Amino acid sequence: MDWQRIIINALEASVGLQAVVFALAAIGLNVHFGYTGLLNFGQSGFLAVAAYGLAVTVATFDLPFWLGIVFGLLGAVVLALLLGIPTLRLRADYLAIVTIAAAEIIRLTVRSVTFEGTFGGSDGRQGFAGGFYDLNPYPKRQYNIGEFGFNERQMWILTVGWVLVALSCLIVFLLMRSPWGRVLKAIREDEDAVRSLGKNVYSYKMQSLIIGGVLGSLGGFVYALGQASIQPDIFGTDTTFFAYTILILGGAARVASPVVGAIVFWMLLSLTDNVLNEAIDAGYISSSVINNTQVGQFRFMLVGLLLMLLMIFRPQGIFGDRREIALDAR
Amino acid sequence: MPADQTEAAAEGHTATASRPDAGSRRGRRDAAALALKDVPHEPGAPKPDPILVADGIKRQFGGLTAVDVDHVELQRGAITALIGPNGAGKTTFFNLLTGFDQPNSGIWSFNGRSLSGVAAHRVARLGMVRTFQLTKALSKLTVIENMRLGATGQRGENVFRALFRSVWGAQEREITTRADDLLERFKLDAKRQDFAGSLSGGQRKLLEMARALMVGPEMVMLDEPMAGVNPALTQSLLGHVKDLREDGMTVLFVEHDMDMVRDISDWVIVMAQGKVIAEGPPDSVMGDQRVIDAYLGSHHDAVLTEEEEQEVLAKAEEALERERAENEETAQ
Ligand SMILES: Nc1ncnc2c1ncn2[C@@H]1O[C@H](COP(=O)(O)OP(=O)(O)OP(=O)(O)O)[C@@H](O)[C@H]1O
Ligand SMILES: [Mg+2]
């Protein structure tokens, strides 16, 4: 088995495109769920709106790249308003139902044959990332330390991606240490108590939904630009649940936890994937037990198992405070 | 005697320099008593200076009429107790007045401003702040953060200004000072950095009341503030409630313990089955036949004052005596 290759792959996965995208998605969810207690099960919808906002503006309507970003961001804000206005006055579970449904509606709309001319059906859209790579300051070559490294396009998107992650974390940090963040955390604990103290709970929940949605939508941009193409099925419900997994893995309501969660999550997926494949190739695991094509699914089972163990032995996640979890039992 | 107890408690409690002395506390109580002197002892009696006026408030849950209050007024600057048997509709009435629930019909106003259809958070901002019967401590916030949350008009609660500590830092320090003062008054200063969820039930009651005061209300509505608080602490809590009156606040509170009601309230409103059935100063209300009837069974002896108990006893003895005499007569 080629352990060097396995480790390099794992390292590349831990800083790679998926890690960035899911870190951003989970940072947004952290604002929703971790801090405000909003059950948003449609985070993939925010990523989709941003990605398609950009792709359609540029590829379909031939408008400039920056306008695509603007439309994508506007799309995320509008989606948050549409989701929030009818549900945020109601009990928490209504938001959960509406968000999961809305995300699916978005996915099915953009993949529908009816709108194929606009959204590209199940093939999605490509040819919209040129404007972004025109701005690439990295000269064309391979950027390597030993075997670990990326080409100039990957370097550019990863640089932008990680800067966005850092900025998002900074914003969340600044907001959550402020009185504004205190209101959100209080809403998570008990809405009525916050209301009785004269705070407009509805407005704060809406602000939280918008900010978390916009932060998540950055993940949609990064994904679209990194792949230089998008397909509707990337934005299915499993995207949302990966983001939840990452958030809980890191520990909800901690600024850095979505980032560390994303890094650990994608590193683990890469490790299990590579180790199993290598083991099968080397004959350590008989292909009658499991073959290479099954590994892709099987690694999620392993990750699921790992998460279960984590919840049992460290329910607060990597960064959480055990004392807080103990309070729930009172 | 109740009156002596009040004074003793007042003098015993007034330790902090910022509190008015016992004399002036009695002054406020006397002022409230004077203002209410000529108010008739009947349901819906008009008050000389009402802060809250409610008319025809009705709330039904399916077939059950939980609240059906014709007319009620609360005197400004007084401590009014709202009593009544379990399920009388006291909490529901609280919810309606504070915008946490909407009545089927009725209008009510606070400081002359109509509150019909006004959202709960606006009611609080207008100066009417309530606490909950089932305490709502914000578990995963520390005690001091719970307190800070109560302050109104915080610059840092705006999402854009929140980003810059320089904008809200100074105000935060002021708020913290105020919060620490209150925590000290409520004997929670040692718990300052603990999660509110780790407090005991009684401590949570104290925290909730202190937090409500952070809002700077004109009127506080306390739903069973003494429930589950130990007797020693109850005394100091009673002192705090009296202090609120001294600070010019109006207090409406729900309480089942009649000794406490008698001790601190200037006026008592009695609810039963959703209706206001009696009103008056504590001693007169507790002797009211309608009130005794409403409570009969569970709280019968609690509503009687000592003299009335004597009276009832004397009457019973008299009746027994008469009966015995009659029996003797018939036997002859
Ligand atoms: N949400 C609700 N749905 C149905 N019935 C309700 C609801 N809230 C209150 N009630 C009913 O209204 C009546 C009044 O209840 P409420 O809680 O106001 O009583 P209370 O006077 O506060 O009693 P306690 O002294 O026990 O706190 C009760 O019969 C109760 O069952
Ligand atoms: Mg009640």
pLDDT digit string, tens, across residues A43-58: 999 999 999 999 999 9
Picking from B130, B131, B178, the residue whose alpha carbon sits closest to that of residue B153 is B178
Going from the Cα of B296 to the center of ligand 1, the distance in angstroms, rounded, reads: 19
A40/B contact by beta carbon, under 8 A: no
**Chain A CA closest to residue B175:** A179
Q: B19 pLDDT exceeds 50?
A: no
Query: Ligand 1 pocket: which of B69, B91, B222 to mutate (most atoms <8 Å of CB)?
Result: B91
Instruction: Give the structural domain span for A20.
Output: 3-324
Pairing of strands B113-114, B105-110: antiparallel
Residue A85: Cβ within 10 Å count: 12
Q: Which residues of B210-244 are buried (b: 16+ CB within 10 A; e: fewer)?
A: bbbbbbebbbbbbbbbbbebeeebbbbbbbbbbbb
Q: Which atom of ligand 1 is nearest to the CA of B85?
A: 25
Q: pLDDT per residue over B248-264, tens digit each?
A: 899 999 998 888 888 88
Q: What's the rounded Cα separation, in Å, for the pair B236 and B15?
A: 11
Query: Ligand 1 pocket: which of B67, B90, B130 to mutate (most atoms <8 Å of CB)?
Result: B90
ipTM over 0.85: yes
Token look-up 């036997």 returns: B331
Q: B5 pLDDT exceeds 70?
A: no
| Domain presence at residue A329 | no
pLDDT for res B1: 39
Supply A6's token pair: 């396995």
Residue B256: Cβ within 10 Å count: 17
Size of interface A-B (CB pairs under 8 A): 115
Residues of chain A contacting residue B157, judged by C-beta atoms under 8 Å apart: 179-180, 183, 199
A192 with B162: Cβ contact below 8 A = no
More confident residue, A155 or B9: A155
Q: What is the mean pLDDT of residues B70-82?
A: 93
| Domain presence at residue A330 | no
Residues in CB range of B298: below 8 A, 6 or more apart: B85, B86
Q: pLDDT per residue over B77-100, tens digit each?
A: 999 999 998 989 999 999 999 999
Residues in CB range of A54: below 8 A, 6 or more apart: A65, A68, A69, A71, A72, A128, A220, A221, A224, A225
Q: B15 pLDDT exceeds 70?
A: no
Nearest alpha carbon, ligand 1 atom 1? B61
Of the candidates B122, B140, B149, the beta carbon closest to that of A197 is on B149
CATH number of the domain that A37 lies in?
A: 1.10.3470
Q: Where are the beta strands (DSSP E) in B84-151?
A: 105-110, 113-114, 128-130
Q: A148 pLDDT exceeds 70?
A: yes
A189 with B156: Cβ contact below 8 A = no
- Look at chain A and report how many structural domains it folds into: 1
The answer to which of A178-192, A262-276, A297-311 has the lowest mean pLDDT is A297-311
| Domain presence at residue A315 | yes
Report helix, strand or coil for B253. Answer: strand
Edge-first strand listing for the sheet containing B105-110: B64-75, B50-61, B105-110, B113-114
Token look-up 């959100």 returns: A184
